Every structure is written in C-alpha cells, then in structure tokens.
Amino acid sequence: MPRRGLILHTRTHWLLLGLALLCSLVLFMYLLECAPQTDGNASLPGVIGENYGKEYYQALLQEQEEHYQTRATSLKRQIAQLKQELQEMSEKMRSLQERKNVGANGIGYQSNKEQAPSDLLEFLHSQIDKAEVSIGAKLPSEYGVIPFESFTLMKVFQLEMGLTRHPEEKPVRKDKRDELVEVIEAGLEVINNPDEDDEQEDEEGPLGEKLIFNENDFIEGYYRTERDKGTQYELFFKKADLMEYRHVTLFRPFGPLMKVKSEMIDITRSIINIIVPLAERTEAFVQFMQNFRDVCIHQDKKIHLTVVYFGKEGLSKVKSILESVTRFIKRILAFGEILALE
C-alpha cells in the first residue's frame, strides 16, 4: 500500500511540473507576441536575418547611388553657373579697362558692340573734363594756343580771314549757321529754365513777372574747337533795362570714332585725271610732257590729261606738242594690240 501511494505521489509531482512548464511556455510566447518592436531592430534589418534578402540590399544600394548621382549633377550645374558668372565679370572688367584707356587717349574705336547710353554719357563727361573749359592746360609755346572766334546773330568773325576790311564770313555756311542757332537756343534754355545746381536766382521784371530772355537779348558769343575733344561756346546775354550780363558756357563733346564701312577698292580700272593750267611757259611744258610720257604713258596708261591754256601766245606750239604725244600713244596702243593678237 505504501508503494502504491509513493507512485501516485510521484505522478502527481511530475504532472504539476509539466503544467508549470506549459504555463511558463505559454506566458513566454504571449510576451513575445505582445512586445513592441524596437528601433534597433528596425535600423538593423540584418539582426533577425529572415525577413530581408539580397533584393533588399540591392534596392538600398541603388537608392544611395541615385542620391549621389543627383547630388553630383546639382554640383556640376552650380559649377557651370559660377564659371558663367566669372566670365561675365571678366568681360565687365575688360570693358571698364578699355573705357579707361579710351579716356586716357582721348580717342577710341568701337567694334561691333554698341555702347550703352550710360557709358556714352560717361565718355562725353570725360571729354569735358579733359578739355580747356574749366581749367587751363600747359602749352609748349604760343603756337599751341587755340584761338576763339566771335559771332553774333548775323555775322561770324574768323581769324582765318585776317585783318582785312571785311573779316566776317559772307555768306555764313548753312551748317555753321544752324550750329550757332542751336547753340543760342540751348543757352536761352539754360537761362530761362535753370537747374537746381545752377548758382543763379530768378529775376523779376518791373511788374513782378519772371524775366524771359529771347534771341534779341543775345549780345555776342565766342567759340573754339579742340579737334580731339569738342567745341567750347561762351555766350553773353543782356536785357536792355538791366545792368548785368548773363554768361553761359556750353561744350559740345566729340564722341569716339565709329566705323561706317570698310571696303576694298579695285584700282585696276580707275582713271587718273590730271588738269594742268598753263600760260606761255612752253619750255617747261615740253619738259613736263617728256616726264608725262616716260612715267604715265609707259607705266600706267590709265591717265587722262587736260591742259587749260590761258592766252594765245604759244598756243600753237602747245597744240603741236599734244598732237605728237597723241600720235605716240596711238602707236603704243596699236603695238600692244599686235602683241596681243600674236
């Protein structure tokens, strides 16, 4: 009887142990199923090793490669933009240097590019600064002085005429007349509509009205031209009932040289015309015709000679010389045609 109770007690012990193990296993599995996934498992997909294969890693590598290619393309685009900006800055610096050289030399050549209005205005102002308008210039001698010439509404007095009885230009050329009229109108515009920078006050007439100057108030003017810079004008205006003058200084700056055209001229068919005025000096004319025959006829043959003779004495001798030269030319031409036929 005790042996049977011992066997029953042993079976009960093992049964309870098995139930405990079963409950522990079920609880452990429940905890595994309910436990949340950590970030470490998500960032390290290779820890478990069963859910990620070769395709996943290939896709990941391809994605990284595309990202690097996109970044490289963006960097190349930025480098190209920087190179273009650098080239533009170099061109701007080169153009500024060229304009500086133009300002130093007083003359400049324009290529196919046109100057911008601001650049042209800057160049014109530089011409004014270089001219003898506000400051003088050191000259080597009195022959370097550029003289002024005076003018009024009706006359222009030139030094080229000399101290004659009528030193004024008669009649005044149309281009010069139009130029001086334009200058007087510009001077009137400066007086009647002054800028804020002008150091003059608006004067009033006897009735309190604003004084307006016109062409009849122009007294006289002076002008001179510096060939490489421009023309300076000094204008004087005066009202009949005022005891003061209005003085206006204007300057017309010359712009840089501009190419109009460039062409090749064929002179193989050009004819040179020579006109010789002659009076009595037949011996000198004989020597001239000898030189004309040796130089012009023998070498070029494309010469047309016209002799204008004054008087009758010696005219027959001149005609005979010309006729002999004409016969000589005809013989040369005939000989040339024979050679050409052979």
**Using one digit for the tens of pLDDT, what is the confidence trace for 14-49?**
788 888 888 888 787 777 776 555 444 444 444 444
Q: Beta 156-157 vs 230-237: how paired, if at all?
A: unpaired
pLDDT-flagged residues of the chain (< 50): 1, 38-50, 106-115, 339-342
The residues, ordered by sequence, that sit 6+ positions from 226 with a Cβ below 8 Å of its Cβ are 131, 132, 146, 232
The reported pLDDT for the residue numbered 113 is: 44
Q: Which of 246, 255, 23, 10 is nearest to 120 (CA)?
A: 255
Residue 299 DSSP one-character state: I
Determine how many CB atoms are found less than 10 A away from the CB of residue 235: 25
Q: Which of 92, 87, 93, 124 is nearest to 108 (CA)?
A: 124
The reported pLDDT for the residue numbered 242 is: 84
CA atoms within 13 A on the CB side of 173: 5
Q: Contact at 8 Å (CB) between 293 and 328?
A: yes
Q: pLDDT for 236-253, tens place per residue? A: 999 888 888 899 999 988
Torsion on CA atoms 252, 256, 257, 259, rounded to nearest 10: -120
The reported pLDDT for the residue numbered 64 is: 85
Phi and psi torsions of 189, nearest 5°: -65, -40
Locate 113 and state its tokens: 């590019």
Distance CA 257, CA 100 (A): 16
The reported pLDDT for the residue numbered 193 is: 87
Q: Beta 272-278 vs 246-253: how paired, if at all?
A: unpaired
Measure CA 296 to chain center. 46
User: Crossing angle of helices 282-292/315-341, nearest 10°?
Assistant: 10
